[in-house]
Amino acid sequence: MIDYHQAWFVINRTPGLGSIRIRRLLNHFQSIENIFNQTSFPQHLNLPAATQAALKNPNIKNITTDLQWLEKADNHILTIDDDLYPPLLKQTDSPPSLLYVTGDPLVLLQPQLAVVGSRNASTVGLKNTHSFCYDLAKNGLTITSGMALGVDGKAHQAALQAKGKTIAVMGTGLDVVYPAKHKELAHDIAHNGALISEFTIGTKPNAYNFPKRNRIICGLSLGTLVIEAGIKSGTLITARQTMEINRPVMAIPGSIHSPMVKGCHALIKQGAKLVESAAEILEELTPLAQSLSLQIKEKLSLLDDKPIKSANKPHIEDKNEIKNDGHALILDHIMYDPTTIDEIILKSGLTAQEVSSILLILELEDKIQALPGAQYIRI
C-alpha cells in the first residue's frame, strides 16, 4: 500500500500531470492515496494513457532520492492539501502542488516581501538592497527572494544580519545549491528561515526553471520590491506576475542616465509605487499583513479542533511540544513594556529560529503584539 509521502512524490514525477490535473484528481478522489487505488479513471479527468498507466502501477524506485532527502533533519514537504500550505500562494492561478522545504515551514506563513533585482547590480543598488532589507526585516517582514547573485543574495544577507527571517525560492532541487558560491548563504537561510522549491530532488540548474520559480516568489508575498532592473531584465517578469495577481509592486528610482534603473522607471510609469524608504513600504503593506494575519489566525483556530493531515507530522508534533514548554518560557520574558527579540532570545536560552516561530504563534493567538523595531509587548 502506497503511503502519503510516497503518493505525493510519485504524483509529482508522473508525466502528464500539472498542478491543475493534480487538483482535479484530489477533488474527485478526496485523498492522494485514493488516486493510486483505482483500476480506471473517469473520462472527464482527461488523463493521457501513459499517465493512467503510471498511476495504476506507481514506480516507488523512481522516488528513492526524494524519500532519502525527506529522512534528513529539517527537510519537509508542503502539499496543496496540507492545512499549513501558504494561503497567499494558494490563491494564485498555478500554485505548486508540492513544495520541498529545508528549514522551518512555519516561516512561509509569515508576512513576506519579494525583493528582486539585477544579478549585476551596481554599488548603489547593493547598498540600497542592504539598507531597505535590513530595516524591513528588523520590522518583522520576511524577505523572500531567489538567492541569485547581486540583489537577491544581498537581500538575504541583510535580513540575516538584522536577525530577521528570509526565504529563498530555488530554481533547482534542494540538494543542489546554485550559484555554488552561495552554499554558505543557503546554509544560513535554512537555519533562519527556509529554502523552498517545487522541483524534484536532483533537478539541476536550467534556464527555464528560473522564470517559473519567480511566480512562487511573488505568490508567497504581500508585494514585490524591485531594486534595480534594466529595461529588458528578467526581473520585470516577476514584477509583471505580481501585477497579474493584483498585489503591489514598488520600485526604487535612480538616475535617468543609468541603464540599471530604466526597468524601475518603466514600472513606475505603469503604476508601480515609487519608494524612497523602508517606512513607505511598511505603510503600503501593513493593511495587507493584518489581513493575512487574520486569515492565518482563523486557519489555526480551525486546526485546534481537528487532527492535522500534514506532510510534516514530525514538525507539527514539535510545534505542540513548543506550545506546552516554550510558550510559557517566552511569555515569562515579555512584559507590558516593549521587549526586543534579542532580549527574548538571550533570556530564554532558545535559538533565534525557535523564538521567532513561537512569537508568530503567540501573536496569532492574541497573547502578544509586535511593535516596530522587532519589539513585542503582552496584551
Whether the ω angle into residue 211 lies within 30 degrees of 0, i.e. cis, is no
Q: What is the pLDDT of residue 260?
A: 87
Number of folded domains that form the chain: 3
Domain shared by 186 and 274, yes or no: yes
Q: According to the per-residue pLDDT averaged within each range, which of 94-98, 232-236, 356-360 is highest?
A: 94-98
Note the pLDDT tens digit of each residue in 51-85. 999 999 999 999 999 999 999 999 999 999 998 89
Q: Let me know if residue 345 belongs to a domain.
A: yes
**Same domain (yes/no): 319, 251:** no
pLDDT at 364: 62
Looking at the domain assignment, is residue 21 inside a domain? yes
Q: What pLDDT sits at residue 299? A: 67
Same domain, 146 and 62: no
Among 54, 71, 88, which residue terminates a domain? Answer: 71
Residue 21 has pLDDT above 50, yes or no: yes
Most confident range, picked from 70-74, 366-370, 372-376: 70-74
Both 365 and 257 in one domain: the answer is no
Give the CA count within 13 Å in the CB-facing half-sphere of 103.
28
What mean pLDDT is predicted for residues 171-190? Answer: 96
Asked if residue 332 has pLDDT above 90, the reply is no
Summarize the confidence of residues 325-346 as an average pLDDT: 79
In a domain, 268, yes or no: yes
Q: How large is the greatest C-alpha to C-alpha distance in the chain, in angstroms?
A: 65
Domain that holds residue 35: 1-71
- Give the residue from 283, 303, 333 where a domain finishes: 283
Tell which of 71, 87, 115 closes a domain: 71
Q: Which of 165, 104, 178 has the alpha carbon at shortest distance from 134? A: 165
Give the mean pLDDT of 21-43.
93
Is 265 part of a structural domain of the chain?
Answer: yes
Instruction: Assess whether 116 and 216 both reside in one domain.
Output: yes
What pLDDT was estimated at residue 312? 40
Question: Based on the domain organization, do 50 and 173 belong to the same domain?
Answer: no
76 lies in a domain?
Answer: no
Question: What is the percent of the chain where pLDDT is above 70?
Answer: 89
> Across all residues in the chain, what is the average pLDDT?
87
Q: Which pLDDT score, from 0 to 100, does residue 310 have?
A: 40
Asked if residue 270 and residue 126 are part of one domain, the reply reads: yes
pLDDT on residue 70: 96
Is 199 within the bounds of a domain?
yes
340-367 tens-digit pLDDT: 887 887 777 776 656 766 776 777 666 8
> Is residue 319's pLDDT more than 60?
no
* Domain shared by 130 and 263, yes or no: yes
Answer yes or no: do 277 and 362 share one domain: no
Average pLDDT, integer, range 199-208 = 91
Q: Is residue 175 part of a domain?
A: yes
SS (H, E, C) the chain: CCCHHHHHHHHHCCCCCCHHHHHHHHHHHCCHHHHCCCCCCCHHHCCCHHHHHHHHCCCHHHHHHHHHHHCCCCEEEEECCCCCCCHHHHCCCCCCCEEEEEECHHHHHCCEEEEECCCCCCHHHHHHHHHHHHHHHHCCCEEEECCCCCHHHHHHHHHHHCCCCEEEECCCCCCCCCCHHHHHHHHHHHHCEEEEECCCCCCCCCCCHHHHHHHHHHHHCCEEEECCCCCCCCHHHHHHHHHHCCCCEEECCCCCCCHHHHHHHHHHHCCCEECCCHHHHHHHHHHHHHHHHHHHHHHHHHHCCCCCCCCCHHHHHHHHHHHHHHHHHHHHCCCCCCEEHHHHHHHHCCCHHHHHHHHHHHHHCCCEEEECCCEEEEC
Supply 122's cell numbers: 551596481
User: Does residue 307 fall inside a structural domain?
Assistant: no
Phi, psi dihedrals of residue 334, rounded to the nearest 5°? -115, 115
- pLDDT confidence bin for 24, thresholds 50/70/90: very high
256 and 125 in a single domain? The answer is: yes
For residue 332, the domain's CATH number is 1.10.10.10
Cα–Cα distance, 273 to 288 (Å, whole number): 15
Asked if residue 374 and residue 261 are part of one domain, the reply reads no
Q: Which residues of 55-64 are buried (b: 16+ CB within 10 A; e: fewer)?
A: beebeeeebe
Q: What is the CATH number of the domain that holds 236?
A: 3.40.50.450
Residue pLDDT, tens place only, 271-315? 999 999 999 999 999 888 888 877 777 766 666 555 444 444 333
Q: 74 — alpha (psi -120 to 50), left (phi > 0) or beta?
A: left
- Pair 224, 277 in one domain: yes
Does position 327 have pLDDT exceeding 50, yes or no? Answer: yes
